[in-house]
């Protein structure tokens, strides 16, 4: 998979100093190597790129009181739990969440961390530390919320911040962590949560700051019909008009979900070059709807894949998201509409487009990063699937990575994470998750209790 969509049967890939240094077919002698990773009988793809996630939500995964309601009731139930986040909870949840992603063939992940409780500490630096420990390529986004219930928003006061504080903290984090160089392991983006959980002033100021710092912009957009109603009532415009009004219509931005754009808005997104993170599992679990993926791609929009947060799409496997995107594409437009190759392209080069790294990540070509996955194509699940390895990879399964390599280093080997600390991290994760959920349950607050309030609140919120 490269700019020419090249496929090589029986080939090899050489990685030197973290970058792809050569590729060849069965007739080309590979260069001498310090280490050879066998891939015979398998499929090698570029590492998959995750363009939307809220990793901390794995602390409230499949949380029963939040299930079965609307997006608003789901959020209203979970905000109070998330207000207990601190540096340790974010570090441990990121370690576990990024490991889960690596097992599913992801080599670059974003994270949209928009809950910053007062006194919670430096949560972005805590998750970056986990990514560095694991060796995962990481694009955290400095999320933010500034409109609480008292200002007509949905979140409680305990998880929103002052807007000047958000901007100052964004600038500090970019200065500390953002690496613009080729092959960078950490890049930051700025990410107000949605057009309706922050003020237009913060949206505009964030776009200006991103321009000044030359970093990317991310937010939720057009994810629910109720967002249309809210934006029309509050701003007198539809969400994508409001997005343009505050200076976000550009190829600096990529947005999550984008379920509800009308045809004219799809065209405008393509003209701007604004990317879309398609989150098929989350969109189905919360009943949000079907994103117009084929239409967006035809309009020139870079479309990547997102597993979304682990409290709405509770499994975080990009293989699963790629397969689901393929199935949804066929359901919408017929069986010829979305091939396994289309889904692979969305999961790799499409994600690179969202993150502004085309030619650098999401492909196997000389000079691109040495991020790749060796997938098994044998065993019971693949018996009889002999004719096309890419169709087999996405139609059979379920599949997890055999080997996951980032910058030439193994994160997963023979289906097992290489770092020895996972067991201890899982024990601590369970304690932290139990503490967050128990404290909430002990307070006697239930999802049903909150939902009556949420249903009367005009403001929605992001997944």
Q: Is 438 helix (H, G, I), strand (E, B) or coil?
A: helix
CB 282 → Zn ion: shortest distance, Å?
Answer: 7
d(CA 131, CA 29): 35
CB 309 → Zn ion: shortest distance, Å?
Answer: 5
CB 196 → Zn ion: shortest distance, Å?
Answer: 14
CB 123 → Zn ion: shortest distance, Å?
Answer: 16
CB 52 → Zn ion: shortest distance, Å?
Answer: 6
Of the ranges 249-257, 296-304, 387-395, 409-417, which one interacts with Zn ion (CB under 5 A)? 249-257
**103 or 256: whose CB is closer to Zn ion?**
256
Of the ranges 205-213, 248-256, 414-422, 445-453, which one interacts with Zn ion (CB under 5 A)? 248-256
Contacts 24+ apart (CB under 8 A), 320-325: 320/104, 320/281, 320/398, 321/279, 321/280, 321/281, 321/347, 322/48, 322/346, 322/347, 322/394, 323/394, 323/395, 323/397, 324/280, 324/281, 324/284, 325/278, 325/280, 325/293
Query: 10 Å Cβ neighbour count for 27?
Result: 7
CB 411 → Zn ion: shortest distance, Å?
Answer: 24
**278 or 297: whose CB is closer to Zn ion?**
278
Residues 6+ apart with CB under 8 A from 51: 110, 254, 256, 275, 277, 304, 305, 306, 351, 354, 355
d(CA 273, CA 286): 28
CB 15 → Zn ion: shortest distance, Å?
Answer: 32
Q: Which two tokens stand for residue 276?
A: 């879309």
Q: Is 204 helix (H, G, I), strand (E, B) or coil?
A: helix
d(CA 129, CA 176): 12
463 sits near Zn ion (criterion: CB under 5 A): yes
Which residue's Cβ lies closest to Zn ion? 463
- Tell me how many residues contact Zn ion (CB under 5 A): 2
Q: Which two tokens stand for residue 306?
A: 């997102």
Residues 6+ apart with CB under 8 A from 296: 258, 261, 266, 269, 270, 276, 303
Of the ranges 65-73, 255-263, 315-323, 352-360, which one interacts with Zn ion (CB under 5 A)? 255-263
d(CA 171, CA 206): 10
d(CA 57, CA 79): 10
**113 or 231: whose CB is closer to Zn ion?**
113
Where in 317-376 is the site for Zn ion (CB under 5 A)? none
d(CA 50, CA 133): 19
53 sits near Zn ion (criterion: CB under 5 A): no
CB 48 → Zn ion: shortest distance, Å?
Answer: 18
**63 or 393: whose CB is closer to Zn ion?**
63
CB 23 → Zn ion: shortest distance, Å?
Answer: 35
**139 or 463: whose CB is closer to Zn ion?**
463
Give the per-residue contact string, 176-215, with Zn ion (x = CB under 5 A; - = no).
Answer: ----------------------------------------
216 sits near Zn ion (criterion: CB under 5 A): no
**256 or 459: whose CB is closer to Zn ion?**
256
**218 or 349: whose CB is closer to Zn ion?**
218
- Phi and psi torsions of 191, nearest 5°: -150, 70
**12 or 56: whose CB is closer to Zn ion?**
56
d(CA 188, CA 114): 13
**71 or 401: whose CB is closer to Zn ion?**
71
Binding site for Zn ion (CB under 5 A): 256, 463
């Amino acid at each position: 998979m490269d700019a020419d969509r090249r496929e090589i049967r029986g080939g090899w890939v050489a990685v030197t100093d973290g970058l792809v240094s050569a590729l060849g077919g069965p007739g080309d002698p590979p260069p001498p190597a310090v280490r050879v990773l066998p891939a015979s009988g398998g499929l090698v793809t570029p590492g998959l790129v995750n363009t939307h996630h809220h990793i901390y939500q794995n602390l409230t995964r499949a949380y029963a009181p939040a299930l079965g309601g609307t997006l608003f009731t789901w959020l209203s139930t979970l905000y109070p739990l998330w207000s207990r986040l601190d540096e340790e909870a974010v570090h441990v949840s990121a370690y576990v969440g990024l490991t889960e992603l690596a097992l599913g063939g992801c080599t670059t992940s974003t994270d949209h961390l928009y809950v910053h409780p007062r006194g919670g500490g430096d949560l972005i630096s805590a998750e970056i530390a986990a990514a560095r420990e694991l060796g995962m390529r990481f694009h955290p986004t400095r999320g933010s919320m500034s409109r609480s219930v008292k200002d007509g928003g949905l979140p409680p006061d305990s998880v929103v911040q002052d807007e000047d504080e958000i901007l100052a903290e964004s600038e500090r984090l970019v200065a500390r962590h953002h690496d613009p160089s080729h092959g960078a392991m950490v890049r930051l983006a700025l990410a107000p949560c949605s057009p309706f959980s922050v003020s237009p002033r913060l949206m505009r100021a964030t776009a200006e700051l991103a321009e000044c710092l030359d970093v990317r912009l991310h937010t939720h957009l057009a994810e629910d019909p109720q967002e249309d109603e809210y934006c029309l009532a509050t701003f007198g415009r539809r969400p994508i008009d409001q997005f343009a009004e505050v200076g976000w219509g550009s190829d600096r931005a990529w947005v999550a979900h984008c379920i509800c754009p009308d045809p004219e808005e799809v065209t405008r997104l393509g003209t701007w070059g604004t990317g879309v993170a398609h989150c098929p599992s989350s969109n189905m679990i919360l009943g949000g709807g079907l994103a117009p993926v084929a239409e967006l791609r035809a309009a020139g929009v870079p479309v990547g894949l997102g597993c979304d947060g682990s409290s709405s799409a509770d499994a975080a496997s990009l293989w699963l998201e790629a397969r689901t995107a393929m199935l949804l594409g066929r359901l919408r437009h017929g069986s010829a509409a979305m091939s396994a190759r289309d889904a692979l392209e969305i999961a790799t080069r499409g994600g690179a487009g969202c993150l502004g790294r085309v030619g650098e990540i999401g492909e196997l070509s000389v000079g691109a990063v040495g991020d790749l996955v060796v997938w098994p194509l044998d065993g019971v699940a693949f018996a009889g699937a002999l004719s096309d390895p890419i169709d087999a990879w996405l139609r059979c399964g379920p599949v997890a990575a055999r080997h996951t390599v980032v910058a030439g280093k193994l994160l997963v080997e023979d289906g097992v994470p290489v770092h020895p600390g996972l067991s201890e991290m899982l024990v601590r994760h369970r304690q932290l998750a139990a503490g967050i959920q128990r404290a909430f349950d002990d307070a006697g607050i239930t999802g049903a209790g909150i939902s009556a309030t949420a249903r009367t609140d005009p403001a929605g919120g992001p997944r």
